[in-house]
Every structure is written in C-alpha cells, then in structure tokens.
Structure 1
Amino acid sequence: MTAIKLVFNKVSPEKLFMGSVLVVNGGNYLYNLILGRLLGPAAYSDAALLTTLLLVLSFLGMTFQLATAKFAILFTGDNWVAFKQLLYTNALGFGTLIGVLLFAFAGHLQTLFHTESDLPFKTFAVSVPLYFFMSVNRGRYQGNQDYQKLSITYQTEMWSRLILTLALLLVVPTTPAFLVSLGIVLSFVFGLIPTNFSIKNLKKKVSLSKENKRKVISFIALTACYELTQIIINNSDVLLVKHYFDTVNAGLYASLAMIGRVVYFVAWMFVMLLLPAVVQKQKDGEATAPILIKYVSYVAVLAISIIFCCAVFPKLIIQLMFGDAYISMAPLLWQYALATSLFAISNLFAYYFLSLDQYVPVILSGVLGISQIIMIIFFHSSLYMVVQVQIIAMVALLVAQLLYFTTNNILNKTI
C-alpha cells in the first residue's frame, strides 16, 4: 500500500488524469464491443444510435463544462459564487428544455431513424437535465485542475454504464435499445460522484457585473456554436447512414466509426488539459502557442501509428473487436481513421483559439461541418463514398486551421 502511495505521489495529477482518460476510453470501447458482439449488426445499429445521441449530449454539455472551467480560473469571491449560480441554473433550465423536446419528438425520431420503438428516446430524454448539471460539476474540477475528482466522475459514469447495461441485457427480456438507454440514464446518476454542490450557494443574493456577464455570455455563445459544429462533424455521418441505409449496413458503419474514432477519443484528454493551461498562461501574460504545439505533436504521432495499424491489420482489428460479422468494413478502416485523425488535430487548434476568445475557427468548423452534411446528402451511393466525403472535408478544415494559426502567430506574437 505504501509503495502504491509513493508511486501516486511521484506521478503528476496531469499524468494521472491522462491515464484515467485512457482507462475510460478503453471502457467505453469495451462497452461498444460487447454491444456489437452481443446484439449483431442489425440490433447494434439501434444501440449505436443511442450512443451517438450520448456523444451529441456530451458536446452540448461541454459548453457548460468549458465555460465553468475557464471562469473558475478568472473569477474569485462573489463573482465566482454569482457565476456558479448562473451556470447551474441555466444548465438545468437548458437541459430540461432539451429533454422535453426530445421526449415530445420521440415518435418522429423513431420514424426518421427506423427504430423499433420510441421508448428508448423517451427514456434518454428524462436524463438530459442531469447530464448538464454533471457537466457544470466537472467544469469546476477542470478549472481548479483537480484532476483526481475529475477522473473519478468519468470513471464512475463509465463503469456504471458498462456493468449495468450488460447486467440488464443478460437478465431483462425486453428490447435491447430500451435497456441500453436505461443503462445510460443510470450512469449519469453515478457520474455525479463526487460532488460538493450545495443548495446554499444558489440562495446567496449576488450577481455578476455587466462586464463579467458580457464576457460569460460571449464565451458560452462562442463555445456553443463550436460544440454545434462538433456535433455536425463527429456525428452527422452515423445519423445520415442510419437514415439512408438499411439496419445491417448502418450497424456495420457504426462499428467502423467506433474503431476509427479512437484517435479522437484519446485526443480529447489533451483538450481537457489544454484549455485551463492556455487560460492560465494568457492571464499571466505568457506565450501559449508552445502548449498547443506540444499537444498537436502528441496527437499527430498517435494518429500516424493508428492509421498505420488500421492499414496493415484491418481484418485482424475488426475480428478482434467486433467479430467476423463486421469484416466487410476492413478496406475502409484506415480511411475512416484518417478522417478522424485530421478532425482530432483540427479540434486542438479550435479549442486553443476558443480559450483565447477568438471566433474565426468556429466559423471555419461550421462551414466545413455543414459542407460535410451537404456532400453526404448528395453523395451516399455507398459507405465508401460517405467516408471519402469526410476525408475531403477534414483535409480542408485542417488546412484552414493551420493557415489561421500561422497568420495569427505572425501578426500577433503574444499568442
């Protein structure tokens, strides 16, 4: 026990968090692999739709998390208390609105995505306010760089979803999609561990100054716009394939997307470390570009390694992860990994500029995200074409982000 404590004391909180993120990503992959093998391609397409909705929800929640993280560094005293009141209240209000809309349009979603029932959507809708509350909670830990508590909340959510969903599927004889949605709902409850929220903080009569409120609203609006582009780029392909193709092809494509996105999910931990570090350095008047370059280098090396493995061992990877039923996706694996890698690197640039309150990268991502949707709508004769369209869009996005970064670095030496 003493030896373990000694190791933990020597390892920095950032490295512990990175290790925790790798475990969480591994657990999420295991979750999807079990669903894929247990359900088969057709039934897995419905389950994958719910996990895609979970990703969409996580992007929306990230608006509140990043805003909380940033201003946890910048605000102190009554400003911080007033800010927490504002964020918790608005997060719960917005979450309730999204949940009500999702519940009300569950029948339309069933028709749009060709699912057996609308019950999974209604079940999922109930949990939405809880997720946004959890996002503000995580933002406090991220901003305070309390990576131990931040790690725990991700771990509790992931493990509870994995264990409870598997138990429900093995024990309860009902529609798998409903059980998957129920497992997601229950995992949000466990994701609130740990929390130090106090209702007393919401009762204090304090408010932000007009200037600080303007800063908060501006950042939230900017981040929300970017998170919307994230939803479009990262999830529109799965949703459109679910709409345009039959259930078997949709399930096959979902397995491809899950394997190919490994770079993006691993790169996410660098985004979590990037924002508070950049905000702190900007506050202290120090150069911020070296942090970005360091993390981009890490992700680039990781991406090249994964693309290489997907190109050389595609059949082996798919057989090991999902089984022989999904082997037809092997030729597309490295190409999807390439598209995701380009997006993951572009994402680091975008969040870097978000930290500095610059909006041009948001516009660039929005334009390319909408372009991706339009191209898939017009060019979806095969799954191969869907992947090619994404590669084109992501190459254009990364080139645009690199040009913007280079131009700003030349014109403004302070970034």
Structure 2
Amino acid sequence: MQILTILKSKKISQEQLFMLSVLIVNGGNYLYNLILGRLLGPEQFADAAVLITFLLVLSFMAMTFQLVTAKFSVLFEADIFKSFVFGVYKNALIVGVFMGVLIIVFSSQLQQVFNTSSSAMFTIFGVGVPFYFLMSVNRGVFQGKKEFKFLSITYQSEMVSRLVITLGLIFLLNIQSSVIISIGILISFLFGLLPFKVGHVSLKTTAIDSSTSKQIRNFFILTAFYELTQIIINNSDILLVKHYFESYEAGLYASLALIGRIVYFIAWMFVMLLLPTVIQLKKEGKATAPILFKYVGYIAAIALIIVLTCAIFPKLMIAILFGDSYLAMAPLLWKYAMATGMFAVSNIFAYYYLSLDKYIPVVISGVFGMLQMLLVVFFHESLEQVVHMQIIAMISLLIIQIIFFKFSSNHVVKTD
C-alpha cells in the first residue's frame, strides 16, 4: 500500500509506466528462458530455443501490422480510424491463417531441417499464429493512441501466462518438453489479446482517399521489408547453428545468444516510444532529431555497460543465469553482446527513418542482414567464428547508418 501511495504521489506518466512494464516483461521472459535452460540442459534446450526463435520470428512479422496500425492511429480519427483498424484486422487474420497453415503442413520438414525431437511442437505453434497477428494489431492501436497502460497489460498478460502455464505443465505432465513449451506459447497468445477494445473497430466502411491508401500500402511494404531484415539479423544465427552444429553445441549457443541480447530487448522499449513520438513531432512541424539523439545515447550507454559486465564477469554471469553446464561459452559472451549492442544502436536509426518514411536506412539494414547470414553460411567452422562474422556485419552496419545520418543531416542544412 505504501508503494502504491508513493507511485500515485509521484504521478508516473503512462510512458514511464510502460517503460517499467517492459522491463518487467523482459525480466519475465528472461526468467522463462533461464528456467527452461536449467531444467532441460543444453541438448533439450536446443529444441526449446528453436521454438523461442520461431516466436521471435513471428513477433517481427506481426510487428509490421503493429507499426502500420500505430502510425495511422496517430494520423486518423473518428470513423476513418475505426474503418482503417477493421481493415488491418481483416488482413492480419488472412496472413496469420496462411502462415499458420504453412507451418502445420510443413511441420515434418521443419523437424528435419532443425533436427528437433518432435514435429507436433510446430503444429501446435502453427495453430496459435493467427491469434498473434490479431494481438499485434490490438497493440498497434494502443501504441499509436499512446494508451500505454493497456499496451502494458497486453504484454504482461502474454508473458505471465506463458511463464506460469509452461512451468506448470512441465511439472504436472510427463510429455515431451518441446510439446509443452508450444502449448504454453499457444495459450499465452490468447491471454495477450486482453484487453481488447471493441470500440476501436467499426464494420461500417468509411472511404479512404487514394493518396492515403497508397501511403498506407507503401509504409506497409517498407515496414515488412525492414522487419524481414530484423528476422534475418536477430534469428538466422540460432537457426543456422542448430542446422550446422550438434544439439549440445546449439544449446550452448542458444544460452550465449539469450544473455548477449539483453541490450536489444531493452532497446525495443525505446523503439516502441520512438515511433509515435517522431510521427507526432513531424505532424506538428517540430524537430525530430533531438529525440533520436536521446534514445541513441540511452542505448549506447546501456550497451557499453552490458558489454563491460560480460567481459569482466563472463563465467559468473553464465553460472548464475544458466549453470555450470554452459560455461564453455564464457569467452564469447562479451563478443556476442558487442555485436547485439551495435545492432541495437543501428536499429534506433533505422526505426527513426522508418517513422519519417525514408527508405534508404531500411535497405541498408536488409543488405547487412543478408551479409550476416551469408558470412555464417560460409564461415562456421566453430561457434567463435560464427560470432566473429556477426561482429563484422554489425560494425559495418552501424558505421554506414551513422554516415547516412551525417550525410542526410548536412543535405537538409544545405537545402534550408
């Protein structure tokens, strides 16, 4: 009660509440992964890592719908807004059903490609895909309208339900762990739909002019392309390692990736706040660069702290988080954290320009995402070499993004 009184007296804004919520959600998701890593051991955790990676891939795909909804929720009002949201829900459901059916039909082939113990885990996951797409549109409305309280609740609902249900099933039932994990993920999607505001949707169709429709379509295509690059950069390494290496090594690498990506998951919180803020500032004719500098500074500082911590206490971090079975990855921890840190900073630049409808940084990310994947495909003699390839790709990406920003800023100044 005393804590609640203090929070009320401080008058915490919805943005601050959302940032706190994201930290809790990321902490809960981390706890979920850490417990699975300890309970299952490296070999079985490799299977779990495939499902978790599929979940991340799905989140990036659905993020296209969320960002499109968020952007135009800022710009549209009244009947046009409701009609637009209904259209996005309809398209999201179509895409979600298509992707889900695809995963179910090719579940056996997916089992072979990723060397998993079960195809059923992919089938169950596929059933949940349409719900995730609907959930993302719902979140996009909350994000665009800056209803961060409801946005926080939907993320909390998904995280808590997945954690409680998965761990509960593991202890209560005696079936394959990969199947249990997929069931927990499926049920969490249903909880993630809450809260759902019916008032945001209207079956009544309100016409949107052709130029605006073209703007929506172009932004959707641009965002879809960028989220594809996110999928490649964020997840291709784990899937390729699962393909090229034995389950034990793949499980070790999965633990490395999970710890090293802390900075990226924190950066995501700022991205969620960045997009609607930049769009609103642009709409009002105000300067947008200061908000970029602010968030780049935050992420760079956080990344530096995490990399230094990983470099100074690698064995301690791995032992505490995953246990002694994963200590072989200690020498690579700071290197992987450095790669993800550079990617996190680059990501802020890309989302900033995405908010301003500028395409080149998105294309740059796509090029270097493919470069990273190709480097790992051709150079994977050891896990260390895989990490080194990612560092090369991410250093190059960050340098190019900074050069583009300098060039773009100078061009604007000269034009003015």
Is TM more than 0.5 here? yes
CA contact (8 A) 2:83 2:203 kept: no
Asked if residue 211 in structure 1 is aligned to residue 208 in structure 2, the reply is no
Superposed counterparts of 1:16-415, under 5 Å: 16-197=17-198, 201-413=201-413
Distance in structure 2 (CA, Å) of the matches to 1:380 and 1:6: 53
Distance in structure 2 (CA, Å) of the matches to 1:97 and 1:412: 43
List runs of 5+ in structure 2 lacking aligned partners.
Answer: none
Distance in structure 2 (CA, Å) of the matches to 1:240 and 1:3: 47
Shift of 1:390: 0.1
Q: 1:3 to 1:174 in 2, by over 3 A?
A: closer
Distance in structure 2 (CA, Å) of the matches to 1:37 and 1:3: 33
Distance in structure 2 (CA, Å) of the matches to 1:258 and 1:269: 17
Q: Percent identity?
A: 55
Shift of 1:5: 4.6
Distance in structure 2 (CA, Å) of the matches to 1:3 and 1:345: 34
Q: Give the counterpart letter for 2:272 in structure 1.
A: M
Shift of 1:198: 5.5
Give the match's secondary structure for 1:116: coil
CA contact (8 A) 2:349 2:401 kept: yes
Shift of 1:207: 2.9
List runs of 5+ in structure 1 lacking aligned partners.
Answer: none
Distance in structure 2 (CA, Å) of the matches to 1:207 and 1:126: 34
Q: 1:407 to 1:30 in 2, by over 3 A?
A: same
Structure 1 residue ranges, 4+ long, deviating more than 6 angstroms after superposition: none
Q: Give the counterpart letter for 1:375 in structure 2.
A: L
Shift of 1:14: 1.1
Q: Give the counterpart letter for 1:266 in structure 2.
A: I
Q: Give the counterpart letter for 2:128 in structure 1.
A: S
Q: Give the counterpart letter for 1:49 in structure 2.
A: V
Q: Give the counterpart letter for 2:99 in structure 1.
A: I
| Larger CA deviation: 328-337 vs 1-10 | 1-10
Alpha-carbon deviations, 1:193-216, whole Å to 9, x = none? Answer: 1111359x4521323221111111
Shift of 1:2: 7.4
Tell me the TM-score normalized by structure 1.
Answer: 0.98
Distance in structure 1 (CA, Å) of the matches to 2:410 and 2:36: 49
Distance in structure 2 (CA, Å) of the matches to 1:276 and 1:43: 40
Distance in structure 1 (CA, Å) of the matches to 2:102 and 2:214: 28
Alpha-carbon deviations, 1:109-156, whole Å to 9, x = none? Answer: 000001111100000000001000000000011001111110010001
Give the match's secondary structure for 2:100: helix
Q: Give the counterpart letter for 2:92 in structure 1.
A: A
Shift of 1:298: 0.4
